[in-house]
Chains A and B, each alone.
Chain A
Amino acid sequence: MFNNFFHRMASPRHFYGLAGTLIPWLAIPCLLLTLAGLYYGLVKAPPDYQQGDSYRIMFIHVPAAWMSMFIYVVMAGAGAIGLIWRIKLAEVVAISSAPIGASFTFLALVTGSIWGKPMWGTWWVWDARLTSELILLFLYLGVIALHNAIDDRRTAARAVAILALVGVVNIPIIHYSVEWWNTLHQGPTVTKFDKPSIHLSMLIPLLLMAVAFKLYYAFVVLMRARCEVLERERNTGWVKELAEKT
């Protein structure tokens, strides 16, 4: 029975319907949490004693940076599931995640740079975290480029899965190599974002935004996956039925 449940879940047709009903249940809480998070973050939370109001970009920046890493791991995990058990839906989730992950990485880099200008006096520093985020963006772009270059969708999805797995093995290595590189070259830098124990009034909006970003990812990945499923299954009966109905 358990097995049966998974098989039904993994059938594209069933998934299409289920994702369609799930999307509003994820999108509406996401919207509400974003509004609440922004209200508490931008209006309610007190200004920082050192950074003034410019720290408030953190409420976008930090969740985006978290998401950028989280989505890569999801992508690699889904890719592995697709490769090992040949579940098509896992492949679909993996490739649908890549552009979203790249956007979050880009968002984290841009907001970090905007925050860095008043704080560090420069748009860009070769700080360890910034550099590894930049390399993460390159890894995402590699995945997207490879996917676009291969015409056959199934081959493309499997190639992307292998690349994502290679990347996920390398991410910790890259992260620590960059960290050591930075300390080897410059010694302890003044630019390090010293983490003070964060006050509750700032922590709550941060967590609200983090959950909102997760929900955003969940419903956008479902939307993209639905679209991908339709394109893959365009020659099957149920998609034709669906097209004729609307």
Chain B
Amino acid sequence: MKSDSLTRAFMILIRRDLMLAVRHRAEMANPLLFFILVTSLFPLAIGANPNLLQAIAPGVIWVAALLAALLSIENVFRSDFEDGSLEQYLLSSHPVSILVLAKIIAHWLITGLPLLLISPLLGILLGLHADAIKVLFITLLLGTPVLSLIGAVGVALTVGLRKGGMILSLLVLPLYIPLLIFASSAVDSAAAGLPVTAHLSLITALLVLSLSLSPFATAAALRVSLS
């Protein structure tokens, strides 16, 4: 019975956030536009030499995805904090870490998934081969949830602050570094025709680790921020 109601609360939270996102479609589009814009700035700045673009494409796409995730992650708790529903989650009888996980999953569906779907197009724009694009897609599929999970801890720590945005990037970006390294070198290796299983295993390990630890850290941080 108890676990039933927990599952229900979990699903309701996800559905609520998705519905909110559908009602505010413009907000959903912003990180996506940012992702595309930042990526297309690089050819303009560096020059359209195809070899050069191909060489920097994995890094550029991943850095752009990382920045887009950083920009959008703040919304994961912001509006709930402002209207007080965050406090209700903390007061509810369900474990906060599970509710937090629902929020993070909903947030990934809203912001991470569109990035993932548009990424092959950007790969083509920067001249990546089909194999490399495939690996890029897999790294983003495994990696964007990690971005949301780690970012949520930072947001939970800064949600009560008036100017949290700048500090959030200072807190979260260093923690994104391992993922950035593994993901972009996986795409690099794929472009060079080398095996990528090791890289993908490491990214999966990061995903499992952050999936199992981040909800607890986020819940603890929310308790501190709202105390």
Contacts and interface: CB of A to CB of B under 8 A. Distances in A.
Q: Which 9 A-B pairs have the closest CB atoms?
A: A177-B178, A181-B181, A138-B174, A158-B224, A142-B171, A177-B181, A142-B170, A173-B178, A162-B221
Contacts of A138: 170, 173-174
Interface string A181-198: 100110000000000000
Given A138-B170, A155-B227, A159-B221, 16 more contacts: A83-B220, A138-B173, A141-B170, A145-B170, A146-B171, A159-B224, A162-B224, A163-B171, A169-B213, A173-B206, A174-B174, A174-B175, A177-B177, A178-B177, A180-B181, A184-B185
Interface of B: 153, 157-158, 160-161, 163-164, 167, 170-171, 173-175, 177-178, 181-182, 185, 189, 202, 206, 213, 217, 220-221, 224-225, 227
A151 to B, nearest CB: 9
A150 interface: yes
Nearest to A156: B224
B97 to A, nearest CB: 13
A170 interface: yes
A174 to B, nearest CB: 6
Contacts of A174: 174-175, 177-178
A117 B177 CA distance: 27
Consensus secondary structure, chain B interface: helix
Interface residues of A, number: 28
B206 A146 contact: no
Given A145-B167, A146-B158, A149-B167, A165 B225 contact: no
A30 interface: no
A135 B174 CA distance: 6
Interface in A97-140: 135, 138-139
B221 A165 contact: no
A153 to B, nearest CB: 13
A95 to B, nearest CB: 14
B217 A166 contact: yes
Interface of A: 83, 135, 138-139, 141-142, 145-146, 149-150, 155, 158-159, 162-163, 165-167, 169-170, 173-174, 177-178, 180-181, 184-185
B167 A163 contact: no
Contacts of A167: 175
Contacts of B221: 159, 162
